[in-house]
Copies of this chain bind each other. A is one copy, B any other.
Amino acid sequence: MTKTVDDAVAVLQQNHLKITKQRRTMLSFLCARPDHYTEVTQVDAYMRDFYPGMSHATIYRNIKEFEELGLVEQQVEGEQARVKFQCDFANMHHHHFICRNCGQVTELKMCPLDYFSDQLPGAKIEGHRFEMYGLCANCAATIEA
């Protein structure tokens, strides 16, 4: 079920987007960090190191396009945005637990929406956001020691 760079490139093709070496490198970079949100500024720094003189605009535009295709997930929380390779393009609805130490993402099953919708009679619920953070089991064990 976990997708690879080639899977992502195939999606680009299917949508008549051009396969450039920059895009391939970006996807490769993101794909190498599965289950981790990476700060967009770090993606930017890496790309501009890899392709000296690469434009900021290109990087941000590509992230936006990748997101529209479901290849990555973006999160705009506070200061700067973060982005994560979407290992499962199927776009299943899910929520995340994010470890503040190692950055690992755990997908949660079940959605809290079910428990709340009956508190809002008449309202039309269009979306929601749910996220948990802390220390994953590994880091919790390590740090406590």
Q: Which residues of A contact B (CB under 8 A)?
A: 76-79, 97, 99-100, 106, 108-110, 112-113, 115-116, 119-137, 140-141
Contacts and interface: CB of A to CB of B under 8 A. Distances in A.
13 contacts: A76-B77, A97-B120, A110-B116, A110-B119, A112-B112, A116-B132, A122-B140, A123-B135, A124-B135, A125-B134, A126-B133, A127-B132, A129-B129
A110 B116 CA distance: 8
Contacts of A134: 123-127
Contacts of A119: 97, 108-110
Residue in A115, A116, A129, A132 whose Cβ sees the most chain B Cβ within 10 Å: A132
Nearest to A111: B112
A132 B140 contact: no
A122 B108 CA distance: 15
